[in-house]
Amino acid sequence: RWEEEKKEDGVKWMQLEHRGPYFVPLYEPLPEDVHFYYDGKPLKLSLATEEIATFYAKMLDHEYTTKEIFQNNFFHDWRKEMTSEEQEIIKDLDKCDFKEIHKYFVDKNEARKALPKEEKQKLKEEADKIQEEYGYCILDGHREKIGNFKTEPPGLFRGRGEHPKMGMLKKRIMPEDVIINCSRDSKIPEPPEGHRWKEVRFDNTVTWLASWTENIQNTFKYIMLNPSSKLKGEKDWEKYEVARRLKGVVHTIRAQYRRDWKSKEIKERQRAVALYFIDKLALRAGNEKEEGETADTVGCCSLRVEHIQLHPQLDGQQHVVEFDFLGKDSIRYYNKVSVEKPVFKNLQLFMKNKEPTDDLFDQLTTSFLNKHLQHLMDGLTAKVFRTYNASITLQEQLKALTNPEDNVAGKLLSYNRANRAVAILCNHQRSVPKTFARSMQVLQEKIDAKKKQVEEAQEEVKKAEDECKDTGDAKAEANVEKKKKLLKRLEEQLAKLNVQATDKEENKQIALGTSKLNYLDPRISVAW
């Protein structure tokens, strides 16, 4: 189908029809008996002020509300929305008491969890109805699923890591903020009653259905199609095709950057060492960003002297580089890597006479690096190395780890181990899930119960065999076979549970989803 429907360059679709975004419900005031207290006394808040108070109250048991920068940003934005009377009274966050509001939301949450099955089913049906109505669009005659069709609810901005804007007020998105994109001849989505859209566009060179600007970072937010849709799929296909082309020339590129380690130009040496890291360690390139806008995160080209330490010898290895920095989304990258001697020597040279806060690659920018890569292969940028190395790692690991004789559970464990190797390479971490200990305990109880069943079945088999020896008749023989079959089935179930436990334990701090969705050519998995 994709082949048949090729379009001229730049055109993404001919027909696009959808319902527009689903707006989150308006604020419901607190019940009369739930109070906000200021300086120990109950204080009735205006509706807008109360709504923002609930955002903070809901987060009371979160680490964010203990951070000074979060508190300051919240209080500053909250006061801006208060009436002048409220501003006169509420002048100190420490005198504000949100505990009763917090308890109200905790109880409400618990009550929702405790709903009877029928009630939960009713809620699910309502959600499904919204999904049916807003979650699909018609693109060139085909019904396609939309990724995120709901606008983000208002709340307090969290950001990743130590974000300087955490705690600021994320405003409610209104139809008047939203630009709609669809085809001229389609049924244009209706805005909610009493509202109008900011603008309606008919731009078939872009793939978004609606967009608006969020008020914290002033960035554009988009409603896009789901990853399984044609538009996303075609883009992914192109991405993996570029990575496959890289496979053909990667040896030439590696030979080239090895030669450049000895270049007369320091700029070329820096480029060659950075490329070695991007290729060998799957580091992100790292872009130039605005100071003070985001948390202090870096990539390969923006590494500072303080982010690496050089060890001529360490743990029985030579020429070890110890990396320690915050990467994208403030995820810590910590790694000790033995590198080739010329790389080590060059790093010593790059660090000479520099302060810890100076750039390690002071003569290198991401655009200079990408321009060079473009010369080596059409369409090549630094991030293609990450895709290529992730996919090739999966392919090699699957070959090495899969035992064709294994049962399905064993094969799945091999697949997840190969996927884990990729996630570790790409530094895709997650914090241990809150429910981990409990679900591990439940699994262990299942394993113990199954072990007991296996032991009992072994006894039964022994008993049946003794009986068969004594009588020697066909009925007794058939009974032995029956008992053996049951034992085999129970042993397989036990093995499967043990594999699950191993998999769960090995996986508790590693996120497999990111690489599956963004870095692994799906054809490798299909072929496997």
Which residues are known catalytic residues? 519
The number of beta carbons lying within 10 Å of the beta carbon of residue 354 is: 14
DSSP string over 380-420: --HHHHHHHHHHHHHHHHHHHH--TTS-HHHHHHHHHHHHH
d(CA 119, CA 112): 9
Among 437, 415, 414, 418, residue whose Cα is nearest residue 508: 437
Specify which residues 97 forms β-bridges with.
37
Among 78, 219, 200, 230, residue whose Cα is nearest residue 152: 219
CA distances from 454 to 194, 286, 494, 496 (A): 67, 55, 8, 13
Specify which residues 96 forms β-bridges with.
38
Q: How many CA atoms lie within 13 A of 24 on its CB side?
A: 12
Sheet with strand 96-97: strands edge to edge: 41-42, 37-38, 96-97
Q: Which amino acid does the sequence have at 114?
A: A
The number of beta carbons lying within 10 Å of the beta carbon of residue 353 is: 5
d(CA 224, CA 232): 9
| 3-class secondary structure, 498 | helix
d(CA 265, CA 271): 10
d(CA 378, CA 72): 49
**Which two tokens mark 509?**
């701090």
* Cβ-contact 476, 464 below 8 angstroms: yes
Place of tokens 């100190």: 92
The number of beta carbons lying within 10 Å of the beta carbon of residue 138 is: 16
Place of tokens 């914290």: 216
**Which two tokens mark 385?**
């190395």
* Cβ-contact 96, 38 below 8 angstroms: yes
What angle do helix axes 47-58 and 99-113 make, rounded to 10 degrees?
70
* Cβ-contact 325, 307 below 8 angstroms: yes
